[in-house]
Structure 1
Amino acid sequence: MDRSELVELLSPVGLRLLDSLPPYDAHGNVVARVSELRKAGHAPGLVAAVLGQSKLRAKAGPKFGDFATRMLFTEAGLEQATRLRVAALHAGRFQAAGLTRVADLGCGIGGDAMAMAALDLEVTAVDADEVTATVASYNLAPFPSASVLHAQAEDVDLAGFDAAWLDPARRTAGHSNTSRLTHSSDYSPSLDFVFGLSERMPIGVKLGPGHDRDQIPAEAEAQWVSVEGQLVEMALWFGVLARPGIRRSALLLTRDGADELTADADSVDAPVGGLGDYLYEPNGAVIRARLIGDLARTLGAEMLSEGLAYLSAPTLTPTPFATAFRVLESLPVDEKKLRLALAERHIGTLEIKKRGVDVDPATLRTRLKLKGSESATLVLTRAAGHRVALLVERVR
């Protein structure tokens, strides 16, 4: 969405038209809908803008729930926006620390600022892009304690603020078809600015879950967050926003609630042991937080092979921090023998999981020429340094 489309959309006619549209149907006849709106006398630019927003609102549902039906988005802004459930946890940190006036530097479409304002925090949301800042203004309009500033994060006078939240832009500029920046030196604002600010006031910082761990300051609490099994962010917390005695955290959010594994540092890996009756695949947040060793010790498990994030144990211990598999049998590693073994078991549908081996599951699945009515899961990995092929079943 460019500036002209936004102007069209923010007119009284544009907003009324957007809100009058039925729920977006990805399989519907878009051409017919365009024709219908054009026949009603609406300009081509307005039609494109409202239909684009209708599509984005539907796409935003998983992140923003019912709020999405009353928000505006840019494509890039939605992609980078914090899920509202996670944003609420961010905001809760500020509230719990007694920090009531927060600068949201790099606010995007305003997701985190909305969560802060919902807790009656006084938040000033800042974005360097004019269109994005305008969209954030619309989204934050229902919240009296929120305001929006179109400015560079580095230029904001932070006198009078208790704390800051930063979500540095990690993609190229624009509102759609952006690409990920590969070097943190290209982030906006830069990490030098971000970490320098942490020396002046309490701050929280949202970064990608795969961010270089060597760049994590020693004084920061680093928390990796997984939502419904998807690793979504690493947040760094400084000052009173960092919890005493915690420097590493894996937070798992599911429909049933939240579970967290914490430590004061990276955990020491468990020793390598033999293959037991059960195999555990740790959640991505646990892996990135390097808490696999601590998890292993709670499960009475050992590493299947050095440096690989698979654990094995003789008995089953339920845990929210890993997916458990029952090991049914070891199959031949040789591809021809493996194909025969799967055929003997009438396996026609095969989930292939791999770690520590150079295999493309999709290509291998084709070469295995699977036929049969049974389904199974195959784990290709290493045990004590040697390649193994394990037929397993997921423990529900």
Structure 2
Amino acid sequence: MDPATLSKLLSPDGWALLAALPPYDEKQAMALSMRLRDQGVDPDLAAAALTQSRLRAKARAKLGDFADGMLFTPDGVEQATRLIVAALHARRYLAAGVTKVADLTCGVGADALAFAGVGLRVLAAEIDEVTAAMATMNLRHFPEAEVRHTDGLSLDLAAEGVDGVYADPARRTRGGKRVFDPKDYAPPLDAVWALRAQAPAVGIKVGPGIAHQGLPADAETQWVSVDGDVVEAGLWFGPLAPQGPGRSALLLHTRGAGTLTRTLRSPVPVGAHAAGPAYDQAPPVGPVGGYVYEPDGAVIRAGLVGQAAHDLGGRLLDATIAYVTTDQPAPADAVDPASGQAPLATGFRVLDVMPFGVKRLKSYLRERDVGRVTIKKRGTAVTPEALRAQLSLHGPREATLILTRVADAQKVLVVEPITHTEPRGGGPR
């Protein structure tokens, strides 16, 4: 959106038009656009309002009802921190005693909104003029939040009275291609974490796929998942990491109006080789038991599968693959939301185990009238789409398959999801 169109949207007529639009419906968007034009609405304004309606609908998954009063860019929606996670970021700064946060890359202002919402003073910087204007609008209810159209790295933190820094560097090119090398972030990751020399309380949001190698040893690196979806990783320095450097996984499980949490932590700094607790050592490896558990993705990304195996009371199927197997159901406090914590892993009861072979598997499933399969895989080059085509199944029943490696051999595990706490017992049959 160009500045002229944004000005039209922010005019009284433009804002009234946006507020009057019905809930976004992709199927009705074209007809609604034509109707607005027939009513004499400026074509640029109509297009901008409909775009905002679409982006607001998309942003609701991250920001809930707050999205209905905000303005967005497509990139802003993609990079916006989920409100539930942004609130936890804000609490870190409060707990660290920070009073004023510089959000160096505020985008449309989702994190700045959370900071201001808990009473922190916020200086938000955004290098793009239109995005900065949108952030200003989005933060309009918080006089303690100031947005500036500037490069965040140019701020004089001491002169501004800033005692905490936050940044969410862009991880996509202008063409939308994902950037994986932190040196290619905008701004580069090295330039941001160098600011800890000026303000020790520095937090940086990074992509969850960031490699462990090369991360600063003085940071807590935390991977975060929401309902099993790994949404981000964060680097937390100084007072923002009160338990010291290391790796951690924060699991969030939304349930009704509340949120269950679980944190796994290794005190071993990223890149270090110091010995930690027993579960930081190589977990045991053994044969398939009666149950298989897939640890939450944040646990896997954080390299804490060994701790997960310990907490689940199990062993790995393979030393390099993140599947944990147990002979009995895992403790309820590790996997059952009714325990009051976010589930550590997704569980499956093992029904059968067999060597991998398309012909044999096809026969097995057809004998059981299986027409649809859910395929999970780790440690195999087989693609679910290709396997489904080869199986060519027809039938009323469903099955779940896990393709993986057990004792250096490709295996198929036929399983069923555990949806409730099971009685003791069970196993392959």
Q: TM-score band, normalised by the shorter chain?
A: over 0.9
> How far apart are the structure 2 equivalents of 1:3 and 1:269?
56
Contact between 1:206 and 1:233, CA under 8 Å: does it hold in 2? Answer: yes
Mean CA deviation greater in 225-234 or 198-207 = 198-207
SS in structure 1 opposite 2:388?
helix
> How far apart are the structure 2 equivalents of 1:378 and 1:334?
13
1:332 positional shift:
4.2
Over 3 Å counting, the alpha-carbon distance change for 1:288 and 1:251 in structure 2 is same
> How far apart are the structure 2 equivalents of 1:285 and 1:71?
30
Task: In structure 2, give the amino acid aligned to 1:171.
Answer: R
> How far apart are the structure 1 equivalents of 2:152 and 2:188?
10
Aligned residue in 2 for 1:10: 10
Contact between 1:168 and 1:207, CA under 8 Å: does it hold in 2? Answer: yes
Contact between 1:306 and 1:384, CA under 8 Å: does it hold in 2? Answer: no
Q: Which runs of 5+ in 2 are unaligned?
A: 271-279, 336-342, 420-429
Contact between 2:9 and 2:48, CA under 8 Å: does it hold in 1? Answer: yes
> How far apart are the structure 1 equivalents of 2:237 and 2:118?
21
Aligned residue in 2 for 1:171: 172
> How far apart are the structure 2 equivalents of 1:182 and 1:285?
18
Aligned residue in 2 for 1:187: 185
Aligned residue in 2 for 1:133: 132
Aligned residue in 2 for 1:305: 318
Aligned residue in 2 for 1:261: 264
Task: In structure 2, give the amino acid aligned to 1:21.
Answer: L
Contact between 1:113 and 1:123, CA under 8 Å: does it hold in 2? Answer: yes
1:245 positional shift:
4.3
Aligned residue in 1 for 2:48: 49
Q: Which runs of 5+ in 1 are unaligned?
A: none
Matched, 1:197 2:220: no
Contact between 1:106 and 1:153, CA under 8 Å: does it hold in 2? Answer: yes
Residue correspondence of structure 1 range 154-169 to structure 2 within 5 A: 154-159=153-158, 160-169=161-170
1:46 positional shift:
0.5
1:98 positional shift:
1.1
Contact between 1:102 and 1:165, CA under 8 Å: does it hold in 2? Answer: yes
1:5-29 CA-partner distances (Å, limit 9, x unpaired): 212211111111101111111232x
Aligned residue in 2 for 1:220: 219
> How far apart are the structure 1 equivalents of 2:349 and 2:33?
53
> Of 270, 286, 303, which aligns to 2:299?
286
Q: Let me know the Cα RMSD of the aligned residues.
A: 1.3
Residue correspondence of structure 1 range 17-28 to structure 2 within 5 A: 17-28=17-28
> How far apart are the structure 2 equivalents of 1:205 and 1:24?
33
1:367 positional shift:
1.0
> How far apart are the structure 1 equivalents of 2:9 and 2:224?
35
Matched, 1:388 2:411: yes
Q: Structure 1 length normalisation: TM-score?
A: 0.96
SS in structure 1 opposite 2:213?
helix
SS in structure 2 opposite 1:131?
helix
> How far apart are the structure 2 equivalents of 1:42 and 1:285?
48
Mean CA deviation greater in 104-113 or 193-202 = 193-202
SS in structure 1 opposite 2:318?
coil
Aligned residue in 1 for 2:284: 271
1:244 positional shift:
1.8
Aligned residue in 1 for 2:345: 322
SS in structure 1 opposite 2:35?
helix
SS in structure 1 opposite 2:108?
coil
> How far apart are the structure 2 equivalents of 1:64 and 1:245?
30
Task: In structure 2, give the amino acid aligned to 1:326.
Answer: R
SS in structure 2 opposite 1:316?
coil
> How far apart are the structure 1 equivalents of 2:206 and 2:244?
22
1:63-119 CA-partner distances (Å, limit 9, x unpaired): 111111100000111111101110000000001111011100101110000000001
Contact between 2:132 and 2:147, CA under 8 Å: does it hold in 1? Answer: yes
Contact between 2:220 and 2:241, CA under 8 Å: does it hold in 1? Answer: yes
Aligned residue in 1 for 2:239: 240
1:333 positional shift:
1.4
> How far apart are the structure 2 equivalents of 1:384 and 1:300?
20
1:178 positional shift:
2.0
Mean CA deviation greater in 157-166 or 264-273 = 264-273
SS in structure 2 opposite 1:391?
strand
Task: In structure 1, give the amino acid aligned to 2:12.
Answer: P
Contact between 1:269 and 1:292, CA under 8 Å: does it hold in 2? Answer: no
Structure 1 moving runs of 4+ over 3 Å: none
Mean CA deviation greater in 185-194 or 358-367 = 185-194
Residue correspondence of structure 1 range 350-389 to structure 2 within 5 A: 350-389=373-412
> How far apart are the structure 1 equivalents of 2:176 and 2:224?
24
Task: In structure 2, give the amino acid aligned to 1:306.
Answer: A
Equivalent residues, number = 392
Q: Structure 2 length normalisation: TM-score?
A: 0.89
Mean CA deviation greater in 109-118 or 330-339 = 330-339
